[in-house]
Structure 1
Amino acid sequence: MYPLSFKMTAGCGFLLIWVIMLHSQFPISTGCLQDERSYLLDFKAGLNLSSGRLSSWRGFNCCEWEGVACDYHTSHVIRLDLRNPVDYYYSSDYHKQQLTGEVRTSLCNLQHLQYLDLSWNDFNGTSIPPQLLKLHRLEFLRLKNAGFGGEVPLELGNMSSLRHLDISDNFWLIQISTYDYFTSDYFKCSKFDVWVRNLRSLEFLDMSNVNLSMASEHWGDALSGLPNLTQIHLFGCGLSGNIPDLSNLTRLSHLHIAYNSFPVQLPSWFENVSSLVSVDLSSCGINGFIPSNFMPRSRMSNLVLDSNYGLKGNLSFMLSHSSSLVVLSLSHCNLTGVFPTSIANFSKLMTMDLGYNNLEGSIPSSFGSLTLRQLYLGHNQLSGTIPDCISKLASLNVLSLRSSGLRGNISLQLFENLTRLSQLDLSENQFVIDISTSWVPKFAHLSTLELQSCNIQGNFPAFLSQQYQLSRLDLSDNNIVGNLPSWLWDLPNLHQLNLSNNQLEGSLPRKISHSFLTVDLHGNRLYGSLPPLDFGSHALDLSNNGFNGSIPTTIGIFDTLSLSGNNLTGEIPSSICNNSDYHRVLDLSKNKLTGMIPSNIGQCYVIEILKLAQNVLQGEIPKELGNLQSLRTLNLNGNRLQGIIPPSIANCTDLQIFDLGNNNFEGSIPVWIEKLTDLRILSLASNKFDGRIPPQLFSGSGVKLRSGICYCDCSVVLPHEMEIHMLFFHG
């Protein structure tokens, strides 16, 4: 019998030997390898990091750095995830978090790398480094929306271990094709079928918005030879011809090839691919009847065929299958028929978009048994009214019935149980909508409310004062009366407002929020002076009201600014065009404006429509208007303008409507008008022109007024050979 101390010593010895043997077989990592740490630091040195990203890239152990992962046993860097943490374009932090600069070739020395994600950054059109494609252990490569450009490298075909490849949405490229969809900012790949056939391990492929229009007709054959493919995403790639037969891809679950050009019928081979779960062939120019053997089988969850205007099909027939569908989107497909009662079997359906078709009949009560979240039935020929069963769709967040043919008296209280509703559009039907003044709905998420032409009577709906998430509000073309409520301008998220063609009264607040994108209040009874218009928006339309006083001198940047049909007085402020980015449309007509046309309107280089008609403007047309080379409409009718038509207007070669009638212009009609070859309406009536009408105006190479209208004062002498055109003249 051994002493106790010997037993303990022997036991510890055996344990030590076991630990040594275990470590020899499974070494434990003690930190990253120093040469790989150096490679990462050199890669970082090539980046611009103003946001503080990669601030953790310091210290000894690079395996603990942001986005870096190492093999537990070997300490080799195997994963580098540097995607932008903010993957939303419109977030204020998106651009701040982007990595920019260059992808240094030191990254290519990480030969054990299996996963690389640089998506949602901006490498400013630089090419993908060919050395990067020598990482033969790489299984996951994601460069989505990373700002790469040039040609997709052929070396991609050498990455035989790749299982996931995403190089979509890189908008940098020299244009190489005449395909209309593409611009000079698109990534290109002219030899797609050459290199992709080598990626035998590939399971996921996304090259959406990469220009494949130069790829050969065998691109489908190349993909069909990749036996492990489960997802194909080739959205908007300029592909054309036939939809290739991919029936031998027995694992294919997602086929998304929308926004290409396949002017053919739907292929019958779809029925042979039982693995398909999601199909998107929208906007592909597909035509013909939807064949019976195309309809998805039991596994299909998403079917999207939107905007194939040549398609035809019967809704009842199509809905006799596929009760597993979660998303059904068939807008703009010329569908006919009525809703079958079997719609109740679609218990998984969450999104149904059947808008812009020719559907008839009523909405069946069986809709109430569905779990819909989004329902689009607008622009059809339905009958009846909105059934009460709609109130049972407790998960519904989008309901669009615009111009669907429905009618009847509707109370918005029908929707009060739809507490998740975010978008509601009932516009342009034959509804009479009642909104109780005391009704307080439980909409916590309502962001869009569109009730255009809904015969709404009475005062402004009071419940809207509590809709703090409201972003878009359209109550136009109704009979709403009373004052415009002051609380409307305080709704924190309201960006688009259309209250036009009602009977609203009152004045505008002294200050309008800078958050508005569009404000349309035309055709009401609003009055008072205009507040400073310095908030800037896409469009501001205050026309056909009773506003008075002068135009404010502080004016923001508007794409469209219309103040016509009011009682505005004073001069047009020179500040109205202090920036060349101002106004594509500027309409100040039908007011009482005086003074001269400001010459700096000629600085509004993007302006397309300029209307100053029916005011009391004096002086001459500024020669600077000739700088407006995008101008399509110039209407100065009904003022007190004088002098000659400045020759600089000949530079406005896009001009289609040129109206100088009812002024005091004099001299001869200029010959250079013949250079305005797009002109369709020319009005020079009731001026003081003299002489003959230049015959060049009606020559084959001159102005094509035969399809338009020409008004001119009868004191002007027509050439004998132009008598046939007397029909176009008005004295």
Structure 2
Amino acid sequence: MLKNSFSKDPMNRLSSWVGDDCCQWVGVKCDNVTGNVIKLNLRQNPSSNDVCFSESSMVSSGLSPTFIELKFLRYLNLAGNDFNGSKIPEFIGSMRHLRHLDLSRGGFAGPVPPQLGNLTHLKFLDLHVPFLCNGFGGLYTQSLGWASGLSKLRFLDMGSCIMSEAHDTFQVLLDLSYTGIYGELPGWLWNISRFQTLQVSGNQLTGSLPQHIVCDGCNLWLLDLHNNSLTGSIPHWLSHLETINVIILSANKLSGAVFEGENASSLLTGKNVLNVLDLDDNMLSGEIQVGDVYPDASLKILSLRGNNFTGPIRSQLCQFRSLRVLELAQNSLTGQIPHCLGSIQFDSDAGGLISQTGVEIAEIIKGIMETVAGNGAHSLIDLSSNHLVGTIPEELTNISKLEGLNLSNNHLTGVIPAKIGNLKMLESLDLSNNQISGIIPQSLSAIPWIVSLNLSNNNLHGPIPTGNQLQTLIDPSIYAGNPGLCGPPLPKKCRNVPPSTIEDEEDEDDKRERMWFYAIIMFGVGTGFWVVVGTLVIKKSWRDAYFRFVEKTAVKIHQQFKSGIRSTGVKKEIVYELSVYKYCPW
């Protein structure tokens, strides 16, 4: 009996497996007409895709031969349970109605049975083995000829399975990540019209990507070749795939100007449905040119770290309204930071396709490089280690959902924006190694989640703000290289600067602008006064004409005033004397 093949069931998942009506058991589904069992789902969800199984996993010494009695089974999922290094049994190859088979993260070891090639209706096959499961020796195969008959297969994951001796590897596989494959990419790999995903990352592949392919009816939406030794340029045809959602070519040796010429009008536009473009750690060059961006452009992750890109950060990038990660660090970019970046929300909750792909990207946040799932990426702007100049745009403080901001190792001047505290979701802020001056705004202490801060090697001065989350950041190196700073956690004490009197929301630029405003007003008033008075003093003819005009006007007003009183019938004597004295003797 199937239940008895599991020696441990910590979560009592099989507690409902009693009685004769198996269609009512948890994890079992039957055909509504025939009553045959067509689905068995005992998947144990892990805390991470990197783990094999957990304390809540069921334990078995191997798949029971009683499985073969489920002749009409279409769906079998045993992922994440502990099968103690047992082999995948050959009899699974006789369950010919199977369309979905998932034995991943199950602690299986030994050869992949070629009898799996008998499952001609199979559309989904997942045998991937996380590294932590390889204590059992892992799965391996010396040939993939058995897969040539799986004509309906649309998803195949054999990640970390050992197949270094399999010479026919590339003919059928979609996921060959970390399998020990080496050598040049064969040309026939790119007959991709039948595949939707192609993942060959983490191997020792060399050679270049083909400059031309035939892709009639191609539905490829994920291409992941990262962490190999590929050379050459990124071909133009890649930017013309209408279905491509994810392109990850990072950690190779690719070169050339990827965003110039034909690619400039396609890769960074809304003509395709690209969600992720990761070209980190290559030798790509040229300017980052952006074509005409469509209003519905869906780009969410743009990662170009560690290349040789030059020129400015173009404001056209701000047209990608769905961006959540902008990684342009470690290049040779020049010019100023576009103010329009503040109009993008960088919403980390923006889901989309990357939440379904299992794509992993590398990001540096909190000063540490992490590999995270695409849907787990922090909302991030990283422009560090370039040649950027100018000030930090005040508009960046409008990005309320930003979680990481790194502008370090540039040539930025000016002050830290007074409203930096508006970035309520910020976890990491690095402004180190610039030429930023002024005080540290008190509003910085209002950011509740900040756990990584680096303001070192600038020209900051004044007391270090205290309170709230800043109280937990006690490493003096955060503020090192700023001789004008004082107060905890630095040993230098502040003198005659009561913390309560610090003008937190007013930086030195505001004060300077106010002083210039008042000076201009005073200059204007003084100039106007002396233009009139000075002229009267110097020109006697103008002075006489001016006083005659004043005397005539006064007389006219007096006459009109007297006639107005007579018309009201009021009998009253008014003595009105007008004397005009010319005090100046010249």
Cα deviation, residue 719, structure 1: 2.8
Determine which structure has more spread, i.e. the larger CA radius of gyration. 2
Match of 2:472 in 1: 705
Do residues 584 (structure 1) and 312 (structure 2) align? Answer: no
1:619 counterpart letter in structure 2: G
Cα deviation, residue 666, structure 1: 1.0
Give runs of aligned pairs for residues 451-466 of structure 1, distance below 5 A.
Answer: 451-466=176-191
Cα deviation, residue 661, structure 1: 0.5
1:502 counterpart letter in structure 2: N
In 2, the alpha carbon distance for the partners of 1:390 and 1:430 equals 17
CA contact (8 A) 1:276 1:299 kept: no
CA contact (8 A) 2:40 2:76 kept: no
CA contact (8 A) 1:656 1:681 kept: yes
Match of 1:686 in 2: 457
Percent of aligned positions that are identical: 28
CA contact (8 A) 1:363 1:386 kept: yes
In 2, the alpha carbon distance for the partners of 1:306 and 1:402 equals 14
In 1, the alpha carbon distance for the partners of 2:61 and 2:14 equals 23
Secondary structure of 1:483's aligned partner:
coil
CA contact (8 A) 1:690 1:716 kept: yes
Match of 1:631 in 2: 402
Question: Which one of 280, 283, 300 corresponds to residue 559 of structure 1?
Answer: 300
Secondary structure of 1:570's aligned partner:
strand
Question: Which one of 476, 482, 487 corresponds to residue 719 of structure 1?
Answer: 487
Match of 2:542 in 1: none
1:705 counterpart letter in structure 2: T
In 2, the alpha carbon distance for the partners of 1:717 and 1:421 equals 64
CA contact (8 A) 1:507 1:528 kept: yes
Question: Which one of 58, 61, 76 corresponds to residue 334 of structure 1?
Answer: 58
Question: Which one of 161, 165, 168 corresponds to residue 429 of structure 1?
Answer: 161
In the TM superposition, what whole-angstrom CA distance separates every residue of 1:666-701 from its partner, at most 9, and x where no partner exists? 12222211011211100011111123322x1xx3x3
Task: Decide which structure has greater helix share.
Answer: 2
Match of 2:230 in 1: 504
In 2, the alpha carbon distance for the partners of 1:389 and 1:269 equals 33
1:390 counterpart letter in structure 2: L
Match of 1:239 in 2: none
CA contact (8 A) 1:434 1:457 kept: no
CA contact (8 A) 2:159 2:176 kept: yes
Cα deviation, residue 558, structure 1: 1.0
Match of 1:140 in 2: none
What's the C-alpha RMSD, in Å, of the aligned pairs?
3.3
CA contact (8 A) 1:425 1:449 kept: yes
In the TM superposition, what whole-angstrom CA distance separates every residue of 1:409-458 from its partner, at most 9, and x where no partner exists? 53332322333322211012343263449x8x5x7xxxx81111111112
Match of 1:522 in 2: 250
Match of 1:408 in 2: 140
Match of 1:370 in 2: 95
In the TM superposition, what whole-angstrom CA distance separates every residue of 1:220-259 from its partner, at most 9, and x where no partner exists? xxxxxxxxxxxxxxxxxxxxxxxxxxxxxxxxxxxxxxxx
Cα deviation, residue 384, structure 1: 1.0
Do residues 471 (structure 1) and 238 (structure 2) align? Answer: no
1:613 counterpart letter in structure 2: S
Give runs of aligned pairs for residues 90-489 of structure 1, distance below 5 A.
Answer: 271-272=18-19, 274-275=20-21, 277=23, 279-280=25-26, 300-307=37-44, 333-360=57-84, 361-371=86-96, 372-403=98-129, 405=134, 406-432=138-164, 434-436=166-168, 449-487=174-212
Match of 1:602 in 2: 342
The structure-2 alpha-carbon separation of the partners of 1:489 and 1:656, relative to structure 1 and needing over 3 Å to count, comes to farther
Cα deviation, residue 710, structure 1: 6.1
1:340 counterpart letter in structure 2: S
TM-score by length of 1: 0.52
In 2, the alpha carbon distance for the partners of 1:654 and 1:375 equals 41
Secondary structure of 1:505's aligned partner:
coil
The structure-2 alpha-carbon separation of the partners of 1:409 and 1:720, relative to structure 1 and needing over 3 Å to count, comes to closer
Question: Which one of 215, 219, 226 corresponds to residue 493 of structure 1?
Answer: 219
Match of 2:283 in 1: 546
The structure-2 alpha-carbon separation of the partners of 1:713 and 1:659, relative to structure 1 and needing over 3 Å to count, comes to same
Q: Which runs of 5+ in 2 are unaligned?
A: 1-9, 29-34, 48-54, 348-378, 494-586
Do residues 655 (structure 1) and 426 (structure 2) align? Answer: yes
CA contact (8 A) 1:589 1:612 kept: yes
In 2, the alpha carbon distance for the partners of 1:721 and 1:508 equals 49
Secondary structure of 1:590's aligned partner:
coil
Match of 1:593 in 2: 333
Secondary structure of 1:577's aligned partner:
helix
Secondary structure of 1:525's aligned partner:
coil
2:313 counterpart letter in structure 1: I
Cα deviation, residue 490, structure 1: 3.8
In 2, the alpha carbon distance for the partners of 1:508 and 1:306 equals 40
TM-score by length of 2: 0.64
Match of 2:501 in 1: none
Secondary structure of 1:463's aligned partner:
helix
Secondary structure of 2:341's aligned partner:
helix
1:351 counterpart letter in structure 2: Y
Would you say how many aligned residue pairs link Structure 1 and Structure 2?
A: 416
In 1, the alpha carbon distance for the partners of 2:175 and 2:205 equals 14
In 2, the alpha carbon distance for the partners of 1:281 and 1:709 equals 56
In 2, the alpha carbon distance for the partners of 1:277 and 1:541 equals 46
The structure-2 alpha-carbon separation of the partners of 1:433 and 1:502, relative to structure 1 and needing over 3 Å to count, comes to farther
CA contact (8 A) 1:538 1:559 kept: yes
